[in-house]
Amino acid sequence: MKNLLKSLILVCALLAVVVTTPASAQTILTPTTLSAALTTGSGTVMTVTSATGFTARTTSAYVDGELMDVNAVSGTTITIGRGRSGTRAVPHISGALVFVGPPNAFAAVSPRGSCTRTNELYLPRIDVTTATATDCVGGIWIQSDLRTGVQTQARWRVYAPEPGGTAYTSLNTTGTATIATELYCSEVWLPTSKLLTGIALLAGTANSTDKHYVALYDNSGVAIANSALAGATGNTTASAYQQYAFTSPYFAVGPAQYFACFQSNGTTDTVRMAVTGVNDNILTKGQTGATFGTLPVLTVPTAFTTAVGPYVYLY
């Protein structure tokens, strides 16, 4: 009887761990691309742009409708087992999107309705039967078609606000001086899904003293990607877009609303911001009380506020 009781207690404890794991151990599936084409459905070696996340025998790769075993990793050369879980082994073009993660991250599921990011063990959810990725954005499941023909239609850069044909030097005069305790954000509408590398900021006339970092938020105020929080010093080119790369690429599903934000650690550099009567057709926010190097939860803006929304592009 005592042994039975002990067994029941052990089972309950294990169940508790299983139930609570998704909230504390969420994994964003690592995206990369093929750096060379897979010209046949029988090849057992592929090369990728980045091998981050690839581990032999314990991870799987998903490429344009095909699920593969990861059998060996040597630099960016990956030895693979083709056509797993009923998917077809077919050729894939150079540049095709690749997801890597544990085998149980890839299944036949495409959820709908409301969602909570912290309740999900893996994001995005990859449906191997329909070639779709579904991500929880702003509390709602958003589905993306992963077929290469669809992915190649994504814009090279997504601007917000659109600078139009106006010379950069005439936008927001010399730019707005930043406040070290403020997070500056602009709404970005992503019309299609896109593999993002980072966010670029349009500098003002002073851009070589302070450090800056960028972050991408979903439309519920959750930070989902960011550059190094230690920041990077602005370059010496005035009135030009400067790129700040994320710590790792992020696959953003669309169509969906996002917010591109940045913070500086000083008050010397200037950044060109949208002002009333020029590009005031987006939501903007200057959120005070921020600590440099710490990502705050964003209180999502509901209106345009002049000179706090940076000119950005997602790339």
pLDDT in tens, 11-64: 343 333 333 333 345 689 999 999 999 999 999 999 999 999 999 999 999 999
User: Any idea which fold 158-314 has?
Assistant: Jelly Rolls (2.60.120)
In the numeric block, the tokens 């927001």 are attached to 172
pLDDT of residue 249: 95
DSSP state of 203: B
pLDDT of residue 5: 40
pLDDT of residue 155: 86
pLDDT of residue 11: 35
Task: Strand 125-127: give its sheet, edge to edge.
Answer: 106-107, 125-127, 132-137, 140-145
User: Measured between alpha carbons, how far is 138 from 116 in angstroms, rounded to an integer?
Assistant: 8
pLDDT of residue 9: 37
Least confident of 5-9, 54-58, 85-89: 5-9
pLDDT of residue 108: 86
Least confident of 73-82, 100-109, 165-174, 264-273: 165-174
In single-letter form, the type of residue at position 22 comes to P
pLDDT tens-digit readout, 185-207: 999 999 999 999 999 999 999 99
User: How confident is residue 10, by pLDDT bands cut at 50, 70 and 90?
Assistant: very low
Environment class of 186 (CB within 10 Å of its CB; exposed 0-12, middle 13-18, buried 19+): buried
In order, the DSSP letters of 140-172 are: EEEEEE--HHHHTTS-S-EEES--TTS-GGGTT
Pairing of strands 27-28, 122-123: parallel
User: Measured between alpha carbons, how far is 215 from 211 in angstroms, rounded to an integer?
Assistant: 14
Residue 216 structure tokens: 């991408």
pLDDT of residue 214: 98
pLDDT of residue 25: 52
pLDDT of residue 106: 94
Q: What percent of the chain has pLDDT over 90?
A: 82
Question: Where does the chain hold its CATH 2.60.120 domain(s)?
Answer: 158-314
pLDDT of residue 73: 98
4 or 222, greater pLDDT = 222
Across the chain, mean pLDDT equals 90
With a cut of 50, say whether residue 247 has pLDDT above it.
Answer: yes
In single-letter form, the type of residue at position 36 comes to A
pLDDT tens-digit readout, 128-170: 989 999 999 999 999 999 987 667 678 899 999 999 877 888 8
pTM: 0.87
